[in-house]
Every structure is written in structure tokens, then in C-alpha cells.
Structure 1
């Protein structure tokens, strides 16, 4: 891979994209907002949802990262609108992907999933899933790849077909995949699982999607295709030709590199953090980043194959394409490797939307949740969004650069971390083993969250304001206030310590 002039380029470019004024997109609001009649089924757009696993927001070349090669995701950036302040809500499990995907598919916030199963991520049938809405309105709905929240919770009521389906969170190798074929009778018993070896998971899922698209070439019925890659989640394996593009020694360390996190955040002994030894070293982190980038570049190549097939089969012009990820990943920032935290590197994700009616090459800086895509896609297709959906459509923001969306966002991780941010500042509060820590960051001037302002008297008013907002949002979002499922004991445990006499430390 070619080297680049200096590591300072990456962060200012990405920070500019998250704060720059946005150009005007379209003179018309979304048709559904104007009260127009529903679009006939055969005139509705197709949907292609490309979803990666553990991909941070700043891992796209066209959005300011010169160290990574993502030519096909770059193509989506150039052809659509990129939301550079898209976030998830955090996690109620060390496997952050599970609640994140449950929120995406159900339209429910992290604290209002009310789901089934051991971990609470099997989506109850009282909530219509996003693909289920499309299926019930005449769409062929297809899935391939990683499909949490699981079999019983949503799969067959959501998807009318599928192939090469993974009903688990991760595998030990990207080249040994225990996969299911679609079962119309919902029979996904263990003996139906087939171990696929020799081909990388991202290639298997791309192949499955391409076969599906080829079968839709002469079908006038619209489709909703959900391609859930399990990369760049570890094991971060990619074919050697992709790994060879990244020289560990040329990979710049993040400005927030630390040998170890400055205090116990509640998750320092989790599996993800054991993927690299403590203290973190420059060489180890560079290797992890190079592996991460190579896996993303290989996944990007599979996205390119899918986009090529979409065009060959005559579906490109009438397909809304969404690219996003379930959560981010630290990979050496703040002394961390995993995503069990609420720093931006773990909750800030890419979100790109392109397709008919979307002006190309747009950037939007409005705060949003990745899960806002559910009502957005329903409106794009002329479908009614279920009343149980708790997120907000992005279509006004897509069509008008100066449209308002959200003034703040709220985040949580299990019993130990709570956070809120506005358009500039972010508060993180930790309650771990009866100890409290507080962090306050200026995300415009300090996007890497290095300079903690919590103890600075000049920011005392801002700290007080955000603490008040944090408590208000916890009540509004039901975080720990109605004990009907396991996520609420996490909130109760956190707020019990937070509201005690324990004094916070400002590390």
C-alpha cells in the first residue's frame, strides 16, 4: 500500500466532514410527508442493505481516511448522502452487535426492546421487523450472512427467502462457516447446518446475494435484500493479497493511543480486550489496525461485486442502497481493543444512503441514530411505518441540508457507563465497583476524546447541563426505570451508584 505524507491528515479531514456546512439536496420533501397516495407495488424501489460488523465511522477513504482503500464504499459516498454523525445507542451485552441489530430490525430503543430469549434479543412478534413490513407489502425479502437476533425471534416472518445464513454471533475462522439454507417451514435444527470451508465468509455472502439478484432480473416484484457481513469482526482474516496492501510499520497510531485505559471501565477483562496483551505496544496496535483495514478492504471488494451484479441485472437505477455497521471498534484507542465502551470509536458508525431521488455527493452532519433507517426506508418505499417504531425518519434531512433532526444522543453500556452528547460536547459517566469517573470532551476540537474537561472550572456549567440532560434522557428512554427485562437492572445498578454520595473522579 502507498504510504501517506503525515498522520495528521486523517482526523482533521474526518472532523471537517462531521462539522462542515451541508449543501442543499432536493427541492421536494419526501412524498409521504406531503400526503401522496401509496406507490403501486411494481413502482416501488428495491432496497439493498449492506451491513458490516464492527466497522468504525472513520474507516472509509472518501470520508477522510487516506490510509484505507474502500473504492466501492467510496462509490456509494459519491452517489448518495453520507451521515457523518450516525451513532448506535451502546450495548446491554458484551456482544454489542446483538442489541444493536435487535434495535435496527425492531425499531425499538435499547431500553424498550422487551424481547425474548436468554439475552433478550429475540424480537417479540408484537413488533413488526423492518423486512417484515416490506414482505407484508409485496416485497421479496432476502437475507444472507450474520442474522442475530436469532431464529425464533424474527427470521422467517421477516424474510421470504435467503441463503448461507449464520445464526450465531461469530465464528473462530472466516473460512469455516456453519451455515443454513433458507427453510420455508422454519426448520433450522442443528442437523440442517452445513459447514462451508475453503472460501472466505464475505465472499460466500456476496455469492449468495449475487445469485439472488440474478434471479430477480425479470421479476417485476420489488425486493428487500439484507446482506449482513460478519467482517471486520475478528478473526480479522483476509486473503493475502489484501493483507499485503497494508504494511504494519506504515500504519499511523491513533492520537488516542494508550498502553492501558486510565481506569477500570468495567470491561477490561472481556474477551475482546484479551485479543492483545497489556500494556498495548505500538507494534501490536499497528498490526491490529492493518488486519482491520485489510479485512475492510476485502469486504469492500465483495460489495463491489454485488453492486456490479445489481447493474448487470438492470436493478441499480431503482434500488435504494444503504451501507452501515452494527457498532464500531477501538483497535488500540484509549488502550482498548474492543467495543464495550461508549467512546466515539465504538458507538460512531458509517451510514450512507444512495438511490432514486437522492442527490449525489451529499454530506449531512445532523446527529442521528443508525436505527433511524427503519422509518426512512419505509417512507422511501411508500409504506406506513409501524406505530411501535421509536426512531425518526431521515428523509427531511436527506432532502434539505438545513433540516433539524436530533439535538442530542444518549448512550449506555451495561451497568457501568452512561453518556450523552449534544452538537459539540460529550459527557461520559462511569460507575464501576462503587467508584465513579467522569469525562467531558469537546468533540469539535477534540474528536479523539483525549482532553478531559470535567475538572476544568471553565466548563462547570456545561458539565452541569449535560448531567441534567443525562438524567432526563434516562427517564424518557426508560433506562432502568421500568423493571420488565434484564436491561433495566443494568440501569438500576448504574443509577443506584450514580445517585449515591460517591464522588466522581476526573481522570
Structure 2
């Protein structure tokens, strides 16, 4: 009898481990893999979060991500090949390639090529149910790479002429951010941020009933212009409480050289030259739509908690690039200043320290590699960005990049940020700018002309040349180096 019981136990164990092996082969296990939620805003500077230092803006949900997780305070977008910086940003994060190779792969997506190498397809190899809703702006069709798709929204909401070149003065009151008749975020009847939130909540409700882990790509258009939100949000920000940025100037002296002049759509939003009043109004509306976005994030977070999913879910929050909104005389994101290339980046989840801030330089596109790391997917060789999971957990302290590379268009701007210095190059005018970021974090004093900085400029320029070769950047910087050094 004892022998029969022992044989029965062995049989049960064999069946159990056989089932477990089968589950693992199809991407499941007896312990469910962690869910991954990626929250992606558009045009949100690292300065547009209260918990990161801006006491004028109201962002309790984003602040909650800061306090309940780890924040990378120096996360950057690499740049873009044209004025629509978000196209390049999103191509990089879906493909894992750096900017110029992402452009090539993006062209392949329109031909249904390389789709198996995209972020959601890789997640599916480990049994993840993948979901997308919101802003897309990638050449691949969402339903060709995600299992489930909600609303697919265009690059920016439909706008109207009334939203540009304003306000001219204090009497210019035609445009109101809450007027639904102007279309924009309300063109389909419901504000797009609320539409995306509702999609996300509905998917979470269904996903809670299933065994498979899920990966959600939730992409908001906000706070991209037209900066529209319900009136109560605008009322939270009386103009008297909005300050003019310290880097304010009526006109950026190099705007035409760098491709950010009067013909660039983003720059047409406010009058030329900039006035303090126009900048304050634009910032008021920028803060209001960001707070409205924050409320949608709150609902998503509360749904995860209510459904009992939060404890086994990693949540990433970032934006595809920043925005000037009046800094340096600029309104858009087509510059190499931190207000335009630096974004908030928070991660919350199992074994992630709470309330921790890390100042290591990373790229926002590192989120993709980090998600693969969490899912147990070996990073393919073609992915050029790196997981920051070990940095977030405190298992590593050294950064993985020998400087941050930045670019705008084929020949308009180049940048390298390294060891608390930033070198910006304007190839068309062959002008070099140098900033000591430790002493001058707002990038107000160009110290390139000081003789004592010649060695630093040479060193950074050579590093930039090496970096551009690694990225497949075809601009001839070596000739420019010989001319300006």
C-alpha cells in the first residue's frame, strides 16, 4: 500500500512538471508574469510635473508615480529627422533602433516588413496579450502588431486657424480652450484624453478575468496643442499665478538657422516676437490640459488597484519629447535644449524602490528594453537601447551610455551631452554652443567663446563625431570640425 502511494505521488509530480513545462513553452507559468502598462504622453517636458519641481502645476497622479516608484530625472529623446519629432520618437520606441535606423525600419513597416521585431510582437513571444489605444503615428498598422486595439488617433487633433498666432493682446479672446466648437480634442464628441482613458479602463476590466499577462500601450495626445481642456481646469490656473520662464526671450537669435523659424508649425502658435503675456497664456493652457490628463491617469491607476492587478504590474510613464512653451523664445520641441528633449520618466512595480530619484542620463526609449527585461525576453542584437531595470533596483550605479546624442533634421542641429556639459552644433552656420549644465542648468550662458573652454569643445566635438558614426548619421561633421576648431 505504501509503495502504491509513493508511486502515485511520483506520477502526480511528473504530470505537474510536465504541465508546467508545457505552460512555459507557450509563455505561461504557474506564477503569472508581471503585467506591463506603458503610459505615454505627448509634448510633456520634464518640468510639467509638480513632484519634479514645478510648484505651479497640479499633477497629483503623476506625483503619486514619483512617490510610489523610481524616477529617472535625466531621460532624453534622441531627436527627429523632421519637424514631427514624435514620429521619430515613436518609431524608436516601437523598433528599438536609434533615430536614423528607426527611420529606415519605419519605411519597412509600411511594406509589412520587420513587424516581428516590434515591441508588442516580442512581448507576445512570452505569452503577453498586447493592447494599444490612442495616438499612433507609426507606419505599421496597430492591428498588425497588437492583439487588441482601441481607438487609433492621428498624430495631433484636428486644429483650426483660431488656435494660431495668439493671443495678440489682452483683448484677443476669440479662442477659448474649452470651446468645443473649435473641434480639436472634441472633434469626435468626447475629449480624446477621456476617450483613451475609457478604452484603457475597459481593457483592464476584461484583462482581470484572464490568465495571460498583458502589455498595454496607452498613448495620449495631451498635452500637445491645441491645448484644450474643460473650463474648470483652465480656471485652476489664473494668469496671476503663472510665471514667465527664466529663459524667456522675445526671439531666439538662431531660429532660422536651426529650422525653428516662422515657417515651422509649432512656432506659429504664438506671435512673433514673443510677449510675456502670450507666453503666460500658452503656459496656462499647457498646465490645464496636463492636469486634465493627470485625472485620466488617476482613473487608470485606480482601476488597476480595484481589479487587484497593481501589485503584479509594472507601470511606466514618460513622454515622447518635451516642449519649450516660451523658453528661449521658442514654442516647440525642435531644439536641443533640455526643455525640448528631456522628459519625465517614472517606473512603479514589484521590487522598484519608492520615492527614489536617479540622475543617470538615459534615453526614454530604454523603456522598451526594460519591458523586455521584465518579461524575460533576451534583448535581440538589433535593439540599440538598454534596460534600466538594474539601475532602478539599485543593482547598478553606472550609466550605460558614454554621452547622450541629439539630432534635428539632416543638417540643422546636432548635440552631445556628457559629464554635465552640453555642446550644440548648428551645421548650417557652423556655430558651436557650449553650456556648463552644473552651473547653468537653464542653459542661459553660452561659454563656447571663452578660451579656457577650447579643450572641452574639442573633446566633446570628437566624441560627437564618434557617436554620429555609431548611429549611422551621414552628416560630415569632420569637415565642420576642421573649420570651427
Name the TM-score, length of structure 1 as normaliser. 0.81
| CA distance in 2 between partners of 1:108 and 1:471 (Å) | 19
> In structure 2, what is the equivalent of residue 236 of structure 1?
227
Q: Is 1:76 aligned with 2:79?
A: no
Q: SS of the counterpart of 2:433?
A: strand
Conserved? CA contact 1:39–1:382, under 8 Å: no
| CA distance in 1 between partners of 2:332 and 2:50 (Å) | 22
Q: Is 1:267 aligned with 2:260?
A: yes
Closer/same/farther in 2, CA of residues 196 and 164 from structure 1, 3 Å limit: farther
Per-residue CA deviation, residues 46-90 of structure 1 (Å, 9 max, x unaligned), is 011100000001111111111111000111111110000100101
Q: Is 1:498 aligned with 2:485?
A: no
Q: SS of the counterpart of 1:104?
A: helix
Conserved? CA contact 1:431–1:497, under 8 Å: no
User: Alignment RMSD, CA only?
Assistant: 2.4
> In structure 1, what is the equivalent of residue 436 of structure 2?
442
| CA distance in 2 between partners of 1:212 and 1:177 (Å) | 27
Where does the alignment leave 5 or more consecutive residues of structure 2 unmatched? 1-26, 161-176
Shift of 1:319: 0.6
Shift of 1:396: 1.7
> In structure 2, what is the equivalent of residue 160 of structure 1?
147
Conserved? CA contact 1:409–1:421, under 8 Å: yes
Conserved? CA contact 1:41–1:138, under 8 Å: no
Closer/same/farther in 2, CA of residues 390 and 118 from structure 1, 3 Å limit: closer
Conserved? CA contact 1:82–1:364, under 8 Å: yes
* Match for residue 407 of structure 1 among 395, 402, 405: 402
Q: SS of the counterpart of 1:203?
A: helix
> In structure 1, what is the equivalent of residue 188 of structure 2?
197
Closer/same/farther in 2, CA of residues 122 and 49 from structure 1, 3 Å limit: farther
Q: Is 1:47 aligned with 2:41?
A: no
| CA distance in 2 between partners of 1:455 and 1:196 (Å) | 50
Q: SS of the counterpart of 1:197?
A: coil
Q: Trace 1:369-448 onto structure 2 (pairs within 5 A).
A: 369-400=363-394, 403-405=397-399, 406-414=401-409, 415-432=411-428, 435-448=429-442
Shift of 1:500: 6.7
Conserved? CA contact 1:177–1:201, under 8 Å: no
Report the count of equivalent residues. Answer: 435
Closer/same/farther in 2, CA of residues 408 and 471 from structure 1, 3 Å limit: same
* Match for residue 74 of structure 2 among 85, 100, 119: 85
| CA distance in 1 between partners of 2:196 and 2:115 (Å) | 30
Q: SS of the counterpart of 1:98?
A: helix
Q: Is 1:469 aligned with 2:463?
A: yes
Shift of 1:402: 5.6
Per-residue CA deviation, residues 429-461 of structure 1 (Å, 9 max, x unaligned), is 0023xx222110011111111000100112221
Where does the alignment leave 5 or more consecutive residues of structure 1 unmatched? 1-37, 180-194, 481-490
> In structure 2, what is the equivalent of residue 299 of structure 1?
293
Shift of 1:218: 1.7
Name the TM-score, length of structure 2 as normaliser. 0.85
* Match for residue 147 of structure 1 among 136, 146, 169: 136
Structure showing greater radius of gyration is 2
Shift of 1:120: 8.6
Shift of 1:384: 2.1
Conserved? CA contact 1:45–1:319, under 8 Å: yes
> In structure 1, what is the equivalent of residue 104 of structure 2?
115
| CA distance in 2 between partners of 1:134 and 1:99 (Å) | 21
Q: Is 1:248 aligned with 2:276?
A: no
> In structure 2, what is the equivalent of residue 212 of structure 1?
203
Closer/same/farther in 2, CA of residues 177 and 244 from structure 1, 3 Å limit: closer
| CA distance in 1 between partners of 2:334 and 2:225 (Å) | 14
| CA distance in 2 between partners of 1:198 and 1:229 (Å) | 16
Conserved? CA contact 2:158–2:187, under 8 Å: no
Shift of 1:122: 7.9
Conserved? CA contact 1:42–1:222, under 8 Å: no
**Which range moves more in the overlay, 165-174 or 79-88?**
165-174
